[in-house]
């Protein structure tokens, strides 16, 4: 049943994301809302058991990064986000994140493909994620939400910068090609 629900929910969204790459920014905006509120409520409502699970998932991200496998890393990020959302103790929010899991994994993987071209950016992304984690386990809901927003805003800014750079290169190549013709 959940598979059918996910498919009916995700097919039009997946098609939109494939046919209109700029809609990836819409997904990032949605992630701002979902992940920010999940971090807030996880810090507010999470139990010690929840925090231990989040800690394990957070450590799993580092192990996944060390593996160099983008799929493993994207899985680790989504597992971490699910753990944070579970700690929020909001069934509707958790259901949404589960339903969006495959789409989130794809978005995270695509983001990493671009971010891996700038190794120094990965350290910053990890630092932002560590800030979210620290605020959650310190039971600081506002700081957790703010850290989540800073994290995703940073990713969005980098992606926009990389997109602009790619566009400049494309224009340059077209101009060079025209000169040759």
**Domains of the chain and CATH, by start:** 2-180 (1.20.120.530)
Tokens representing 76 are: 């680790």
Tokens representing 87 are: 């700690």
The model's pTM: 0.81
Kindly indicate the confidence band of residue 2, based on its pLDDT and cuts at 50, 70 and 90: very low
Of 177 and 57, which is predicted with more confidence? 57
Look at residue 121 in the predicted model and tell me its pLDDT: 78
Give the orientation angle of helix 24-45 with respect to helix 119-137, to 10 degrees.
30
Spatial CA neighbour of 107 closest among 13, 37, 43, 173? 13
Look at residue 132 in the predicted model and tell me its pLDDT: 97
Residue with tokens 């990713």: 155
Mean pLDDT across the chain, nearest whole number? Answer: 85
Look at residue 161 in the predicted model and tell me its pLDDT: 80
Q: How does pLDDT run across 67-86, given as a tens digit for each residue?
A: 888 899 999 999 999 999 99
């Amino acid at each position: 049943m959940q598979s059918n629900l996910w498919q009916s929910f995700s097919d039009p969204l997946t098609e939109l994301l494939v046919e209109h790459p700029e809609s990836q920014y819409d997904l990032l905006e949605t992630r701002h809302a979902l992940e920010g509120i999940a971090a807030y409520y996880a810090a507010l409502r999470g139990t010690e058991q929840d925090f231990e699970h989040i800690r394990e998932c957070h450590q799993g991200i580092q192990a996944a990064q060390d593996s160099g496998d983008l799929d493993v890393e994207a899985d680790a990020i989504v597992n971490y986000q699910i753990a944070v959302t579970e700690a929020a103790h909001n069934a509707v929010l958790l259901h949404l994140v589960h339903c969006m899991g495959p789409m989130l994994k794809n978005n995270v993987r695509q983001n990493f493909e671009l971010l891996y071209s700038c190794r120094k950016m990965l350290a910053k992304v990890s630092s932002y994620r560590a800030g979210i984690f620290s605020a959650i386990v310190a039971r600081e809901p506002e700081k957790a939400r703010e850290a989540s927003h800073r994290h995703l805003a940073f990713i969005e800014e980098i992606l926009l910068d990389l997109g602009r750079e790619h566009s400049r290169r494309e224009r340059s190549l077209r101009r060079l090609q025209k000169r040759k013709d």
